Amino acid sequence: MAQIHQLILRDGIDEAKKKAATKHERALVEAAYQVLSEDAEKMGFTYSGFALTSLPHKPPKELFWRREGHNITLLLESGRDRVGVPVGVPYGSYARFILLFLQSEAVKTGSREIELGRSMRVWLGTMGLSIGGQTYKAVSEQAKRISNCRLQFFATKGEKEVMRHGGFVDGSITMAGLDSDQPALWNDRVLLNKEFYRALREHPVPVSEAGLRAIGPRSMVIDVYIWLAYRLHSLTNDATVSWLSLHGQFGAGFQLLRKFRAHFIECLELATAAYPDARVEVTEAGVILKPSRPAIAKL
Protein backbone atom coordinates (compact mmCIF):
# COMPACT_ATOMS: atom_id res chain seq x y z
CA MET A 1 0.00 0.00 0.00
CA ALA A 2 1.29 3.44 -0.86
CA GLN A 3 2.88 5.62 1.80
CA ILE A 4 0.02 8.13 1.87
CA HIS A 5 -2.47 5.40 2.70
CA GLN A 6 -0.28 4.05 5.48
CA LEU A 7 0.01 7.55 6.92
CA ILE A 8 -3.78 7.99 7.01
CA LEU A 9 -4.38 4.56 8.55
CA ARG A 10 -1.64 5.02 11.14
CA ASP A 11 -2.11 8.67 12.18
CA GLY A 12 -5.60 9.53 11.00
CA ILE A 13 -6.87 11.96 8.39
CA ASP A 14 -6.41 15.09 10.50
CA GLU A 15 -2.73 14.41 11.09
CA ALA A 16 -2.25 13.53 7.42
CA LYS A 17 -3.79 16.85 6.40
CA LYS A 18 -1.49 18.73 8.78
CA LYS A 19 1.56 17.13 7.15
CA ALA A 20 0.42 18.10 3.64
CA ALA A 21 2.52 21.17 2.83
CA THR A 22 1.32 21.90 -0.72
CA LYS A 23 -1.93 21.97 -2.67
CA HIS A 24 -0.85 18.82 -4.51
CA GLU A 25 -0.10 16.98 -1.26
CA ARG A 26 -3.50 18.00 0.12
CA ALA A 27 -5.14 16.63 -3.04
CA LEU A 28 -3.28 13.33 -2.54
CA VAL A 29 -4.49 13.07 1.05
CA GLU A 30 -8.09 13.83 0.08
CA ALA A 31 -8.09 11.30 -2.78
CA ALA A 32 -6.51 8.55 -0.67
CA TYR A 33 -8.87 9.18 2.24
CA GLN A 34 -11.94 9.16 0.00
CA VAL A 35 -11.00 5.73 -1.39
CA LEU A 36 -10.17 4.31 2.04
CA SER A 37 -13.48 5.60 3.44
CA GLU A 38 -15.70 3.80 0.93
CA ASP A 39 -17.83 1.13 2.64
CA ALA A 40 -18.95 -0.61 -0.54
CA GLU A 41 -17.01 -0.87 -3.76
CA LYS A 42 -18.75 -0.46 -7.11
CA MET A 43 -17.19 -1.64 -10.34
CA GLY A 44 -17.09 0.28 -13.60
CA PHE A 45 -15.68 -0.73 -16.98
CA THR A 46 -13.89 0.70 -19.96
CA TYR A 47 -12.52 -0.70 -23.21
CA SER A 48 -8.86 -1.75 -22.98
CA GLY A 49 -7.99 0.43 -25.97
CA PHE A 50 -8.47 3.47 -23.72
CA ALA A 51 -5.90 2.07 -21.29
CA LEU A 52 -3.29 2.31 -24.05
CA THR A 53 -4.41 5.46 -25.90
CA SER A 54 -6.46 8.47 -24.88
CA LEU A 55 -8.80 11.22 -25.98
CA PRO A 56 -7.50 14.80 -26.11
CA HIS A 57 -7.23 16.65 -22.80
CA LYS A 58 -7.94 20.07 -24.28
CA PRO A 59 -9.91 21.23 -27.35
CA PRO A 60 -7.86 19.99 -30.31
CA LYS A 61 -7.09 22.44 -33.09
CA GLU A 62 -7.63 19.78 -35.74
CA LEU A 63 -10.73 17.73 -36.57
CA PHE A 64 -8.67 14.55 -36.52
CA TRP A 65 -6.94 12.92 -33.53
CA ARG A 66 -4.35 10.14 -33.56
CA ARG A 67 -2.63 8.56 -30.55
CA GLU A 68 -0.14 5.73 -30.30
CA GLY A 69 -0.16 3.36 -27.34
CA HIS A 70 1.43 0.02 -26.55
CA ASN A 71 0.75 -2.01 -29.74
CA ILE A 72 -2.37 -0.01 -30.59
CA THR A 73 -3.30 3.15 -32.49
CA LEU A 74 -6.44 5.24 -32.01
CA LEU A 75 -7.86 7.30 -34.86
CA LEU A 76 -10.68 9.68 -33.97
CA GLU A 77 -12.43 12.01 -36.42
CA SER A 78 -14.97 14.75 -35.86
CA GLY A 79 -18.46 14.26 -37.18
CA ARG A 80 -20.74 16.97 -38.56
CA ASP A 81 -24.12 18.34 -37.59
CA ARG A 82 -27.19 18.34 -39.82
CA VAL A 83 -26.03 21.38 -41.78
CA GLY A 84 -22.54 19.99 -42.32
CA VAL A 85 -20.64 21.97 -39.68
CA PRO A 86 -17.93 19.95 -37.85
CA VAL A 87 -18.81 19.46 -34.18
CA GLY A 88 -15.26 18.64 -33.06
CA VAL A 89 -13.55 15.72 -31.35
CA PRO A 90 -14.57 14.86 -27.76
CA TYR A 91 -12.03 15.86 -25.12
CA GLY A 92 -11.47 16.38 -21.40
CA SER A 93 -12.83 14.78 -18.24
CA TYR A 94 -16.51 15.28 -19.11
CA ALA A 95 -16.19 13.18 -22.26
CA ARG A 96 -14.34 10.50 -20.33
CA PHE A 97 -16.99 10.31 -17.62
CA ILE A 98 -19.83 10.08 -20.15
CA LEU A 99 -18.05 7.22 -21.91
CA LEU A 100 -17.25 5.47 -18.62
CA PHE A 101 -20.94 5.55 -17.71
CA LEU A 102 -22.05 4.15 -21.06
CA GLN A 103 -19.42 1.40 -21.07
CA SER A 104 -20.07 0.41 -17.46
CA GLU A 105 -23.81 0.13 -18.02
CA ALA A 106 -23.31 -1.92 -21.19
CA VAL A 107 -21.06 -4.47 -19.47
CA LYS A 108 -23.22 -4.67 -16.33
CA THR A 109 -26.48 -5.17 -18.24
CA GLY A 110 -25.02 -7.27 -21.07
CA SER A 111 -26.75 -5.02 -23.59
CA ARG A 112 -25.61 -2.27 -25.90
CA GLU A 113 -28.89 -0.45 -25.26
CA ILE A 114 -28.27 1.98 -22.42
CA GLU A 115 -31.05 3.55 -20.40
CA LEU A 116 -30.29 7.21 -19.74
CA GLY A 117 -32.77 9.54 -18.11
CA ARG A 118 -32.07 10.51 -14.53
CA SER A 119 -29.56 7.68 -13.92
CA MET A 120 -26.87 9.26 -16.07
CA ARG A 121 -27.16 12.65 -14.40
CA VAL A 122 -27.06 11.02 -10.98
CA TRP A 123 -23.97 8.97 -11.86
CA LEU A 124 -22.15 12.00 -13.22
CA GLY A 125 -23.11 13.84 -10.04
CA THR A 126 -21.47 11.14 -7.93
CA MET A 127 -18.30 11.72 -9.96
CA GLY A 128 -18.29 15.36 -8.87
CA LEU A 129 -20.04 16.89 -11.88
CA SER A 130 -23.04 18.98 -10.80
CA ILE A 131 -25.06 19.03 -13.98
CA GLY A 132 -26.28 22.58 -13.99
CA GLY A 133 -25.33 25.95 -15.46
CA GLN A 134 -22.05 26.00 -17.36
CA THR A 135 -21.23 22.39 -16.43
CA TYR A 136 -24.54 21.30 -17.92
CA LYS A 137 -23.67 23.03 -21.20
CA ALA A 138 -20.15 21.61 -21.22
CA VAL A 139 -21.39 18.05 -20.65
CA SER A 140 -23.99 18.52 -23.40
CA GLU A 141 -21.28 19.69 -25.79
CA GLN A 142 -19.18 16.58 -25.11
CA ALA A 143 -22.24 14.36 -25.52
CA LYS A 144 -22.80 15.93 -28.94
CA ARG A 145 -19.18 15.34 -29.96
CA ILE A 146 -19.29 11.73 -28.76
CA SER A 147 -22.52 11.11 -30.67
CA ASN A 148 -21.12 12.35 -33.97
CA CYS A 149 -17.48 11.29 -34.06
CA ARG A 150 -15.99 8.27 -35.81
CA LEU A 151 -13.21 6.10 -34.42
CA GLN A 152 -10.95 3.21 -35.38
CA PHE A 153 -8.42 1.14 -33.48
CA PHE A 154 -5.47 -0.60 -35.15
CA ALA A 155 -3.19 -3.20 -33.62
CA THR A 156 0.42 -2.26 -34.34
CA LYS A 157 1.53 -5.78 -35.17
CA GLY A 158 0.72 -6.40 -38.81
CA GLU A 159 -1.45 -3.26 -38.95
CA LYS A 160 -4.49 -5.34 -38.02
CA GLU A 161 -7.64 -3.29 -37.79
CA VAL A 162 -9.27 -3.97 -34.42
CA MET A 163 -12.33 -1.77 -34.87
CA ARG A 164 -13.64 -0.55 -38.20
CA HIS A 165 -16.44 1.81 -39.20
CA GLY A 166 -16.76 2.55 -35.53
CA GLY A 167 -18.36 5.21 -33.48
CA PHE A 168 -19.26 5.33 -29.84
CA VAL A 169 -23.03 5.28 -30.23
CA ASP A 170 -25.72 4.78 -32.87
CA GLY A 171 -28.03 7.74 -32.65
CA SER A 172 -27.32 10.63 -30.32
CA ILE A 173 -26.96 11.61 -26.68
CA THR A 174 -28.61 15.00 -26.34
CA MET A 175 -29.93 17.20 -23.56
CA ALA A 176 -32.91 19.46 -24.02
CA GLY A 177 -33.15 22.99 -22.75
CA LEU A 178 -29.56 24.08 -23.21
CA ASP A 179 -30.52 27.69 -22.56
CA SER A 180 -31.86 26.84 -19.13
CA ASP A 181 -29.81 26.57 -15.96
CA GLN A 182 -32.02 23.68 -14.92
CA PRO A 183 -31.06 20.38 -16.58
CA ALA A 184 -33.75 18.49 -18.43
CA LEU A 185 -33.90 14.72 -18.72
CA TRP A 186 -31.58 12.92 -21.08
CA ASN A 187 -32.97 10.89 -23.95
CA ASP A 188 -34.55 7.65 -22.76
CA ARG A 189 -31.93 5.37 -24.26
CA VAL A 190 -29.01 5.13 -26.66
CA LEU A 191 -27.33 2.24 -28.45
CA LEU A 192 -23.61 1.70 -28.24
CA ASN A 193 -22.13 1.21 -31.69
CA LYS A 194 -22.07 -2.52 -32.50
CA GLU A 195 -18.33 -2.61 -33.23
CA PHE A 196 -17.49 -0.61 -30.13
CA TYR A 197 -19.73 -2.81 -27.97
CA ARG A 198 -18.11 -5.96 -29.35
CA ALA A 199 -14.63 -4.67 -28.58
CA LEU A 200 -15.72 -3.60 -25.09
CA ARG A 201 -17.28 -6.99 -24.31
CA GLU A 202 -14.18 -8.83 -25.51
CA HIS A 203 -11.67 -6.60 -23.71
CA PRO A 204 -13.19 -4.84 -20.66
CA VAL A 205 -11.02 -3.21 -17.98
CA PRO A 206 -12.59 -3.17 -14.48
CA VAL A 207 -12.14 0.09 -12.57
CA SER A 208 -13.26 1.30 -9.17
CA GLU A 209 -16.00 3.92 -9.20
CA ALA A 210 -14.68 5.08 -5.81
CA GLY A 211 -11.27 5.59 -7.39
CA LEU A 212 -12.74 7.58 -10.26
CA ARG A 213 -14.75 9.70 -7.84
CA ALA A 214 -11.62 10.42 -5.80
CA ILE A 215 -9.81 11.53 -8.96
CA GLY A 216 -12.62 13.82 -10.09
CA PRO A 217 -12.49 15.91 -13.28
CA ARG A 218 -8.76 15.50 -13.96
CA SER A 219 -8.52 14.00 -17.45
CA MET A 220 -4.89 12.89 -17.48
CA VAL A 221 -5.18 11.36 -14.02
CA ILE A 222 -8.20 9.38 -15.24
CA ASP A 223 -6.11 8.09 -18.16
CA VAL A 224 -3.18 7.15 -15.92
CA TYR A 225 -5.49 5.38 -13.47
CA ILE A 226 -7.10 3.32 -16.25
CA TRP A 227 -3.65 2.49 -17.64
CA LEU A 228 -2.51 1.23 -14.24
CA ALA A 229 -5.75 -0.73 -13.76
CA TYR A 230 -5.10 -2.48 -17.06
CA ARG A 231 -1.38 -3.12 -16.77
CA LEU A 232 -0.53 -3.82 -13.13
CA HIS A 233 -2.70 -6.82 -12.25
CA SER A 234 -1.66 -8.75 -15.38
CA LEU A 235 2.10 -8.45 -14.79
CA THR A 236 4.18 -11.40 -13.61
CA ASN A 237 7.44 -9.42 -13.52
CA ASP A 238 8.47 -5.78 -13.21
CA ALA A 239 8.18 -3.78 -16.42
CA THR A 240 9.88 -0.45 -17.16
CA VAL A 241 8.06 2.03 -19.40
CA SER A 242 10.39 4.72 -20.74
CA TRP A 243 9.67 8.43 -20.52
CA LEU A 244 9.64 8.56 -24.31
CA SER A 245 6.92 5.89 -24.46
CA LEU A 246 4.93 7.61 -21.74
CA HIS A 247 5.16 10.90 -23.60
CA GLY A 248 3.92 9.19 -26.76
CA GLN A 249 0.84 7.88 -24.98
CA PHE A 250 0.02 10.66 -22.50
CA GLY A 251 2.01 13.70 -23.58
CA ALA A 252 -0.21 15.43 -26.11
CA GLY A 253 0.29 19.16 -25.63
CA PHE A 254 3.77 18.81 -24.10
CA GLN A 255 6.62 19.55 -26.48
CA LEU A 256 9.34 19.37 -23.83
CA LEU A 257 9.86 15.97 -22.26
CA ARG A 258 11.01 17.45 -18.92
CA LYS A 259 7.79 19.45 -18.53
CA PHE A 260 5.72 16.41 -19.40
CA ARG A 261 7.68 14.31 -16.90
CA ALA A 262 7.01 16.72 -14.03
CA HIS A 263 3.29 16.85 -14.81
CA PHE A 264 3.02 13.10 -15.33
CA ILE A 265 4.61 12.36 -11.95
CA GLU A 266 1.95 14.48 -10.23
CA CYS A 267 -0.78 12.68 -12.18
CA LEU A 268 0.75 9.31 -11.31
CA GLU A 269 0.79 10.22 -7.62
CA LEU A 270 -2.92 11.13 -7.73
CA ALA A 271 -3.76 7.98 -9.68
CA THR A 272 -1.99 5.77 -7.13
CA ALA A 273 -3.70 7.66 -4.29
CA ALA A 274 -6.95 6.45 -5.87
CA TYR A 275 -5.51 2.94 -6.41
CA PRO A 276 -4.08 1.94 -2.99
CA ASP A 277 -2.63 -1.40 -4.15
CA ALA A 278 -0.75 0.04 -7.14
CA ARG A 279 2.99 -0.68 -7.00
CA VAL A 280 5.01 1.68 -9.17
CA GLU A 281 8.42 3.33 -8.97
CA VAL A 282 9.60 6.49 -10.74
CA THR A 283 13.19 6.39 -12.03
CA GLU A 284 15.41 8.38 -14.37
CA ALA A 285 14.68 5.84 -17.11
CA GLY A 286 10.92 5.89 -16.73
CA VAL A 287 8.27 4.26 -14.55
CA ILE A 288 8.64 0.73 -13.23
CA LEU A 289 5.33 -1.13 -13.08
CA LYS A 290 5.23 -3.96 -10.55
CA PRO A 291 2.74 -6.84 -10.24
CA SER A 292 -0.16 -5.56 -8.13
CA ARG A 293 -3.60 -6.49 -6.94
CA PRO A 294 -6.42 -5.35 -9.25
CA ALA A 295 -7.79 -1.81 -8.89
CA ILE A 296 -11.01 -3.43 -7.73
CA ALA A 297 -11.71 -7.02 -6.74
CA LYS A 298 -14.20 -8.83 -8.98
CA LEU A 299 -17.55 -8.70 -7.25
| β partners of residue 152 | 75
> By three-state DSSP, how is residue 46 classified?
strand
Closest CA to 101 of 78, 117, 81, 87: 117
Query: What is residue 201's predicted lDDT score, i.e. its pLDDT?
Result: 94
Query: What is residue 174's predicted lDDT score, i.e. its pLDDT?
Result: 62
| β partners of residue 77 | 64, 150
| β partners of residue 119 | none
CA distances from 66 to 75, 178, 231, 237, 249 (A): 5, 31, 22, 30, 10
Query: What is residue 133's predicted lDDT score, i.e. its pLDDT?
Result: 74
Which residues, in sequence order, are CB contacts of 40 under 8 Å at separation 6+? none
Closest CA to 32 of 74, 75, 2: 2
Considering only CA atoms, give the Rg of the chain. 19
Query: What is residue 222's predicted lDDT score, i.e. its pLDDT?
Result: 97
Cβ 28 vs Cβ 40: under 8 Å: no
> By three-state DSSP, how is residue 110 classified?
coil
What's the distance, Cα to Cα, between the start and end of the chain in Å?
21
Within a 13 Å sphere around the CA of 283, how many CA atoms are in the beta-carbon half? 11
Ranges under pLDDT 50 in the chain: 1, 177-181, 185-186
